[in-house]
Structure 1
Amino acid sequence: MLLLVATALAACQPMPASDAQVPAPAPQQSSASAAGGTDATACAAQGGKMLPQGRMQTERCVIAYADAGKRCTDGDDCLGDCRIGDVAGAPAAGTTAVGQCHADSSRFGCYTTVEDGKAEATICVD
């Protein structure tokens, strides 16, 4: 009986430090390496402006696109997304559609994207 108790208690001992696995630190990422970042200096260097975005009105980097308003049938036609801004008049998902290149890097609001000449499902991002 005493041997059983000793064995059970020995199983509860901590692992030696040499066998312990220490998780690697997560890689650091620049908060403004892409549009939408929160670093004002990096945003300005990319030609963007810090603007309140989303329901929480968090200041985020918004970059204006030179091809804004250009007719498109795919996101590859634009610097940003190919979108249909009028969600009330947007075609059903999967049907043939033509959009316009989005004006800036903001991801917020309601819109329908166009990919491969077809409307995607309308989404609202807040």
Structure 2
Amino acid sequence: MPQSARSPLPSAVPPPADARIIFETLALDVDEAGNPVEPGESFAAGTHRIYVFFTWQGIPKNVPWTHAWYRDNVYLGGETTLWSWDVAGRGYIYFVPPDGYRPGEYEVQVFLGTRLQFRKRFTIAAG
């Protein structure tokens, strides 16, 4: 978990013990219905987005959650915010590194409070 995610947020509430975020898939895009387009675990280099699709359950508003993105074990960026979605559902997040996706091994980690919910590795292939 990135150090920046460890700082308390005003109005934050702790996640209930049964709250969960569950990984579904990675994809290059999302269609109008919110479904993944071109899912996979290996993608071409470029400045496109990588989407992470997931479901969640039992998460009340104002629980802090974090998504952190790494390339070759070096933190690239991410965000910690207070949960503002419904208590249960399905959704996605995305990330574009400042320099675009260069070839290498990447990982996204998702936390609920300080509890790791999932980590998913993917590869960006050259050319």
| TM class, shorter-length | under 0.3
* TM-score relative to the length of structure 1: 0.24
Q: Which has the bigger relative contact order, CA under 8 A and spacing at least 6?
A: 2
* TM-score relative to the length of structure 2: 0.24
From the two aligned structures, give the one with the greater helix fraction.
1
From the two aligned structures, give the one with the greater strand fraction.
2
